[in-house]
Amino acid sequence: SRRVLIDTDTAGDDTQAILLAALADSIELEALTIVAGNVEFDYEVENAKYTLDLADAADDVPVYEGSRRPLVKEFEHVDHVHGDGGLGGELYPDTDIPSADGHAVDKIVETVRESPGEVSLACIGPLTNVALAVRREPKLNDLLDEVWVMGGAVNTIGNDTPSAEFNFWVDPDAAKIVMEELDVNLVDWGLTLRQGAFDADELEPFEEADTPYADFFTTITRHAREFSKERLGVDSTTQPDSLAVACLLEPELVTEAETYFVDVDEREGMTRGYSLVDELGITDGEPRTRVVEAIDEDRFKQMFSDMLLHGDP
Ligand code: BDR
């Protein structure tokens, strides 16, 4: 089966993406690598370990700690979105699971060097670790199987600032490097608003179900739902990270995709983290980023619900 590394700033929907990957039969989850993003780094590490443990995968999937801050910019996290600690302000895991020896960036580079073409990367946080990996190993793109990134806001309003999605905003220097160096499959913020979000009615079965995964999901999304009501005016949850991982797990989920040149504004200022997508081919930039434009939403929701209700995506 296909081998996958997930690079994650574990909080909120990162946990659901990890569960999908850990519980799916179609892939082998090799390791998690942690990057600074959603919440304080040490919370992210614990959240990741707790999530693996919930999936009964903590013994098989090592957790590697990576960059504790962006390449250049100051680090700012968003616990106002996901709740203090990143799990809705309700759970503060304190596992006794040790982190793996070695740095996340080394783990990424060594794994792909040992098995060229066999390992895919799902990046569901800021791209600091991945940018460092490509600087350490310039052939990273050739050594990887697929690269999936959740990030950017393709011709849509950002969620962190009007011009930028959170993952790109936090470390725009890293996002720029990754877009320049790797053939990325991109799941952007706009897609997650258009498809794959669960509204109040759809969330009910999860609230009523008495299963560990559904309970976990309901608990950690309460805070984010409130935030989404305030900011977006809708009572729903968005699933950006699990959407990206689901597409990796099941390529047929993607029903429309186009390959464009994508660049990222790394400058401080109003457009920091803006993802420029050259849909009309106006620039000389090489089109290499495959932007997912539509998915089979019913199938995604089925997977997600099977995971929460039966532990089997
Ligand atoms: C991204 O930011 C995080 O809060 C989510 O986990 C996702 O990776 C969405 O902008």
Predicted TM-score (pTM) of the model is 0.97
- Model confidence pLDDT, tens digit, residues 207-227: 999 999 999 999 999 999 998
pLDDT of residue 231: 84
Question: Cα(81) to centroid of ligand 1, in Å?
Answer: 10
- Percent with pLDDT over 70 in the chain: 100
Q: Which mutation among 241, 242, 245, 264 tests ligand 1's pocket best, with the greatest number of atoms within 8 A of CB?
A: 241
Tell me which of 6, 13, 43 to substitute to probe ligand 1's pocket, judged by most ligand atoms within 8 Å of the beta carbon.
13
Residues 6 or more apart whose Cβ sits within 8 Å of residue 122: 4, 5, 6, 7, 17, 21, 148, 244, 245, 248
> Which residue from 86, 98, 89 is spatially nearest to 52, judged by alpha carbons?
98
- CA of 12, closest atom in ligand 1: 6
Average pLDDT, the chain: 96
Left (φ > 0), alpha (ψ -120 to 50) or beta: where does 187 sit? beta
Query: By three-state DSSP, how is residue 196 classified?
Result: coil
Confidence of residue 1 (pLDDT cuts 50, 70, 90): confident
Atom in ligand 1 nearest the alpha carbon of residue 9:
6
- Ligand 1 nearest-atom number relative to CA 150: 8
Mean pLDDT lowest for which of 65-69, 172-176, 229-233?
229-233
Reported ipTM: the value is 0.97
pLDDT tens digits along 277-312: 999 999 999 999 999 999 999 999 999 999 999 999
Q: Which atom of ligand 1 is nearest to the CA of 240?
A: 7
Summarised one tens digit per residue, pLDDT across range 256-271 is: 999 999 999 999 999 9
What is the pLDDT, as a whole number, of residue 232? Answer: 83
| Ligand 1 first shell, C-beta below 6 A | 12-14, 38, 81, 124-125, 150, 159, 165-167, 189, 240-241
Percent of the chain with pLDDT over 90: 95
**Per-residue confidence band for 86, with pLDDT thresholds at 50, 70 and 90:** very high
Confidence class for position 47, pLDDT limits 50, 70, 90: very high
Ligand 1 center–CA 277 separation, angstroms? 19
Task: Give me the mean pLDDT over the 145-171 stretch.
Answer: 97
Residue 66 reports pLDDT greater than 90: yes
- Which atom of ligand 1 is the closest one to the Cα of 82? 4
Distance 167 CA to ligand 1 centre (A): 6
pLDDT the model gives residue 27: 95
Ligand 1 center to 284 CA (angstroms): 30
- What is the pLDDT, as a whole number, of residue 164? 98
Ligand 1 centre distance from Cα of residue 241 (Å):
7
Q: Residue with structure tokens 């919370």?
A: 43
Give the residue, by CA position, lying nearest to ligand 1 atom 10. Answer: 166
Ligand 1 mean position, distance from CA 114 (Å): 30
Encode pLDDT of 108-152 as tens digits.
Answer: 999 999 999 999 999 999 999 999 999 999 999 999 999 999 999
Distance 226 CA to ligand 1 centre (A): 16
Query: What per-residue string of b and e applies to 237-276 under the rule 16 or more CB within 10 Å gives b?
Result: bbbbbbbbbbbbbbeebbeeeeebbbbbbbeeeebbbbbb
The pLDDT confidence band at residue 76, using thresholds 50, 70 and 90, is confident
166 C-alpha to ligand 1 centroid (Å): 6
CA 107 / ligand 1 centre spacing (Å): 23
pLDDT over 90 (residue 56): yes
Asked if the model's pLDDT at residue 77 lies above 90, the reply is no
CA distance 64 to 33: 5
The CA–CA distances, whole Å, from 83 to 103, 168, 215, 219, 305 equal: 27, 21, 17, 11, 23
